[in-house]
Structure formats: structure tokens, C-alpha cells
Chain A
Amino acid sequence: MAGLELLSDQGYRIDGRKPDELRRIRCKLGVFTQADGSAYIEQGNTKVLAAIYGPREADQNMRNQICHDKCFLNCEYTQATFSTAERKHRSRGDRKGQDMSTHIKQTFEATIQTSLYPRSQIDIYLQVLQADGSNYCACINAASLALIDAGIAMKDYVCACSASLTKGKPVIDINHVEESSDCAELSVAILPKLDQIVYSELNGRLHANELPDVIDAVVRGCKDLFVVMDRTVREHLEETATTFTHS
């Protein structure tokens, strides 16, 4: 986009945010009744629905993946045809979807206490309703909340955030316009309380000297996100507790 600067001279981005500001985050647990756990998250204009089925007996066609000492994860990432600005029909099993599904599966294999559910299967399904950048991060956050809603044992919350580098300053939680520019894009998923990185992916070129700053910024972004997610979970728990005690 000619003439559109990602970071203005006054330090504001295209949507008016400061470089270290997250987009408006709204989330809700327990959106569906039939899934074992479900959650919905809105990060700015990126809207993702997550549904969890499990732990349950393994499907017929996945019998070969059963492990005697832990559960196996099955993940599918789908994007609605109307999710992007240009309508695009994506068939199931296309490269990008498969790629995302594998990354998300890896992230949760490191977080869920799989040894507690031997010989079973946990399904994680993600549906992107509107894609406006940071799709992977929104998916991880939604799946994390959905797993909490399903009551599946995890080591910690998983919070994911994306970052980029513009004019020497790290900017976090990038939207679609910032993603499509030539800057490098770093996505990181962390366990906030344990301070561990469970997944990181860098696209594009970044100088080795600049990397620590960007990682710091993105970890701070994840921790800010954790505050919002934790608050949502506690509020949801209070609401559910009142229905049980006051019935």
C-alpha cells in the first residue's frame, strides 16, 4: 500500500495502537452445548471458535495412533470461506490448513498432561470466522480456553502472541495489513507462569541483534494476554458456581 506507514512518526500504528499494545480481546467459555469444551475469542477483528471433544475412545480410523501410556491429539484447523476480505474456498486438507494443524498439535502436546489419559484421543477443532492477522495466536488462545472449559489437565495456560519489527521498534499483535508487509513475523506461544516457550516461529529476516528485543516484547504481550484470559476463566467459574449453589 503506497504511502501507508506501518508506524507513524508519532509512534502510532495504522489502527491507532502503540507498538506494545494488544488489540481489544474479548473471550467467552462454554459457547457450545454438545462439545466437551468450547471457547470463542476475538482479538480485534480476528474471530476464532474452538471446540474440544475428549478425552474419548479412539476413532476407528485412528486406531493405529493409540499409545498405551498417553493420549494422542487430533487437531484440525479450518478457515471459513468468508473469513478473509476476498472470498476463497478452501478445501479440507489443503497445505496451509494441515501446516497450522500440525503446529497447534505440537503446541498442545507440550502442554496437556497426556500421561493422565492413556489409550484415549483428544480432538481440538478450530474454526476461524474472521481472519485479520495473528490467526495462529488467536487459535492457540481459543484452544487453551476451550481445554480449560473441558476440564482437561494442562501444565499451565498457553498464551500466544505475534510480533514484528518496524523501524527498529518491535510491534506486537500484528493485524493483516502489518502481516502482508515485508517485515519479519514472529509468533510465540508461552506457558506464562512457568515462563517457558512451547512454540515459536519466525517468518522473514531478522538481525540477530534485534531478536532478543522482539522476543522480550512478544513475551510481555503474552503475559498481558494471560491476564485477560485468566480473568475471563475466573468470571466464568464464578457464574457457573452460582448456578450450582443457588439452584
Chain B
Amino acid sequence: MAKAILGDSEKWFIVHGVQDDFRTDGRSCENYRHIELETGILSNTHGSARIRLGSSELLVGVKVELGTPKPQRINEGWLEFHVDCSPNAHPVFQGRGGKELSDNICSMLTRVYRNNTVMDLEALGVIPQKHCWVVHVDVLILECGGNLIDAASIAVKAALYNTGIPNISLTDGDEGEVEINLPDDPEDVKHLKTINCPVLVTLSKIGNRHIVDATDEEECCCSASLVMGVTRRGHTVGVRKMGGGSLDPESVTEMIDSGKKIGRQLHISLDKLLKIEAGMSEDIKQTGYL
């Protein structure tokens, strides 16, 4: 992981600031940095989103393919996550340098989305036992400014909201086989129901308090952090402790309660933003990186 280099006095400054609920950029312990989100910027994907959280920048592309259903779940499709750390973010990601970080984020995302209540996987089924939709979600990390896990989960939810799966029609072909026909119109799509998709909230413990949305420097000062998946209703769909330090059982309950509250608020703002963007007229040009 690309770590910022901090001297001891800088670390103490951050720790003492957090004790007084005052972080180096003026935020309180439970505030997120400025988030910029844009969807549908990659024209050759079925869904995409770009997020800028403070100085962290990620790009998510979703492509759907027809595949064979898993033997235990013949009526359902599935989601497949893949995370890539671009060397643009930090020279240390060159070659295979970013593998550990990308594996971490990938496993967190796979774990929270594996839940049945999160996504209606039966809607992804096409022909039981033969065909189903496989949704490949590719996350590309372009800049590391701390809190990549949260940014990735927000962008993934936005990209899935933006994803359109082609409306296929089934006709009877030769020899009793069913033929799958793709629509001619690229706009003839059905959208995924992302109402229950979770968002990952990382709570980092600094001193006696915990903070949300840690920057690179704050991540250096924290000994342990808790990553939890929270749905719109405030339900937890996955919890994982990361980092080399230890956590008190009482602080864990405190952090989970905090996380649920923050997660709910995040969902409200995110859903509102996605609705506004979807309703925006087509005259407004998308800027992407320009």
C-alpha cells in the first residue's frame, strides 16, 4: 500500500486533533470529504462510474456476458469483481506491486455482495442450468488519497445503478434448443435493482476515537480499522477488521453503531444524486476527465 511518510510529531498532531474531534482538514470525526460522482462515461461498457473522494480517484466499468450458472444455483446469475491498481496512482503499483491492495478490496466487495438480500440474482438468470448473465465489475484505481475501499463501494453501486442489461428474447430454435436473440436497439435495456446494494464504511481507530474517511496521513496513524457493509436500511451485511492493532469489544460495538448511522446517510445522499443524474437531460455533456 502506498503509505505517506510521517514524522512522529506529525502523527501526534493528528492523534491529538482527533481526540478533540478536529482533523487536519477541519472535518469532524464522522464527516466524509467532498465526493464527485459521474456515471455512464465509458461508452463501450454496459455501465460505468467515476468517483473522486478527496484526492482518491477510481473508475468502475461494468460489462455483462452470458455464462453458465453455477451448479448450486441454476436459476441465478452472479457478480464477479476485479480490482486493478494503475501505476498512475503510485509508482509502487508497477508490475505486480498493487496485487495485495487489489486483492484486499476485491475480497471485501465479493463478500458483501454474496448476500442474497443484496442483489436479486434470479433476475440475472436466463435459461435455468444453461445460460445466465455474469456481471463483471472492474474497478480501476487511478489515484490513492486514502479510503479506497469506501470509494470503490460507492462507485460500484453507482456503476450498477447505471448498468443496462440488454433485453434478450428467447425463441425456439432447431432441435429443441432455445435461441437467444439480442435486441437491435442499444437503448433497449433493463436496469438492475440496486436499492439494497451495500456501501462499505471504513472506521479507523486513532487513539480513543474512531474516524470515518481517513486520508493517507491519517491511515498511517491508525492501528486498526473496521470495514463494514451497510445497506440503505442500516443493516450490516459484512464486517471485517483490518490492520495490525487490536480493538476493544466495547469500541467495536460503538464503531458498528456509528457505521450504521453514517452508512444510512451516505445511501440517502447517493440515491438522491443518482436519481438527479438519471433525470438530467441528454443535452448536458458529460465531462469525464476533461
**Interface, chain A (partner B; CB < 8 A):** 26, 28, 31-35, 38, 40, 42, 45, 47, 49-51, 53, 59, 74, 76, 78, 80-85, 87, 89, 92-93, 123, 125, 127, 129-130, 132
B26 in contact (CB, < 8 A)? no
20 A-B pairs, CB-CB below 8 angstroms?
A31-B289, A32-B142, A32-B143, A34-B89, A45-B43, A49-B88, A49-B289, A74-B94, A76-B95, A82-B42, A82-B44, A82-B45, A82-B61, A82-B63, A87-B63, A92-B96, A125-B87, A125-B94, A129-B140, A130-B43
Do B84 and A81 touch (CB < 8 A)? yes
Query: Which residues of A are found within 8 Å of B136, using beta-carbon distances?
Result: 81, 87
| Cα distance, A53 to B45, chains bound together (Å) | 30
B residues 45-91 near A (Cβ < 8 Å) are 45, 48, 55, 57, 59, 61-63, 65, 82, 84, 86-91
B residues 96-139 near A (Cβ < 8 Å) are 96, 136, 138
User: Would you give the shortest CB distance from A102 to chain B, in whole angstroms?
Assistant: 15
Knowing A40-B290, A82-B48, A93-B95, say if A125 contacts B88 (CB, 8 Å): yes
User: Would you give the shortest CB distance from A176 to chain B, in whole angstroms?
Assistant: 10
A-B contact count (CB 8 A): 96
| Cα distance, A93 to B98, chains bound together (Å) | 13
| Cα distance, A92 to B94, chains bound together (Å) | 8
| Cα distance, A33 to B43, chains bound together (Å) | 26
Do A127 and B140 touch (CB < 8 A)? yes
**Interface, chain B (partner A; CB < 8 A):** 42-45, 48, 55, 57, 59, 61-63, 65, 82, 84, 86-91, 94-96, 136, 138, 140, 142-145, 288-290
| Cα distance, A123 to B136, chains bound together (Å) | 31
A78: contacting residue among B61, B86, B90, B91, CB under 8 A: B86
Q: Which residue of B lies closest to A31 (CB)?
A: B289
Do B88 and A28 touch (CB < 8 A)? no
Query: Which residues of B are found within 8 Å of A93, using beta-carbon distances?
Result: 95-96
User: Would you give the shortest CB distance from B79 to chain A, in whole angstroms?
Assistant: 14
Q: Which residue of A lies closest to B46 (CB)?
A: A82
Knowing A34-B145, A40-B290, A82-B42, say if A123 contacts B91 (CB, 8 Å): yes
Query: Which residues of A are found within 8 Å of B144, using beta-carbon distances?
Result: 34
| Cα distance, A47 to B286, chains bound together (Å) | 14
Do A40 and B61 touch (CB < 8 A)? no
Nearest first, the 9 closest Cβ-Cβ pairs linking A and B are A82-B61, A51-B88, A40-B289, A125-B87, A87-B63, A81-B138, A127-B86, A125-B88, A82-B45
A84: contacting residue among B44, B48, B88, B89, CB under 8 A: B44
Query: Which residues of B are found within 8 Å of A74, using beta-carbon distances?
Result: 94
A80: contacting residue among B90, B95, B140, B145, CB under 8 A: B140
B290: contacting residue among A26, A38, A51, A81, CB under 8 A: A26
Do B138 and A42 touch (CB < 8 A)? no
Do B143 and A34 touch (CB < 8 A)? yes
| Cα distance, A141 to B164, chains bound together (Å) | 33
| 13 new A-B contacts at CB < 8 Å, known A32-B143, A82-B48, A123-B87 | A34-B55, A47-B288, A47-B289, A78-B87, A81-B84, A82-B138, A89-B82, A93-B96, A125-B91, A129-B59, A129-B140, A130-B43, A132-B44
User: Would you give the shortest CB distance from B22 to chain A, in whole angstroms?
Assistant: 24
| Cα distance, A13 to B87, chains bound together (Å) | 36
Knowing A49-B289, A89-B82, A125-B88, say if A81 contacts B143 (CB, 8 Å): no
Query: Which residues of B are found within 8 Å of A51, using beta-carbon distances?
Result: 87-89
B88: contacting residue among A47, A83, A127, CB under 8 A: A127
| Cα distance, A92 to B85, chains bound together (Å) | 11
| Cα distance, A35 to B2, chains bound together (Å) | 13
Query: Which residues of A are found within 8 Å of B90, using beta-carbon distances?
Result: 34
Do B43 and A127 touch (CB < 8 A)? no
Query: Which residues of A are found within 8 Å of B87, using beta-carbon distances?
Result: 51, 76, 78, 123, 125, 127
Do B44 and A130 touch (CB < 8 A)? yes
Do A28 and B44 touch (CB < 8 A)? no
User: Would you give the shortest CB distance from B64 to chain A, in whole angstroms?
Assistant: 9
| Cα distance, A42 to B41, chains bound together (Å) | 12
Do A33 and B55 touch (CB < 8 A)? yes
User: Would you give the shortest CB distance from A167 to chain B, in whole angstroms?
Assistant: 28
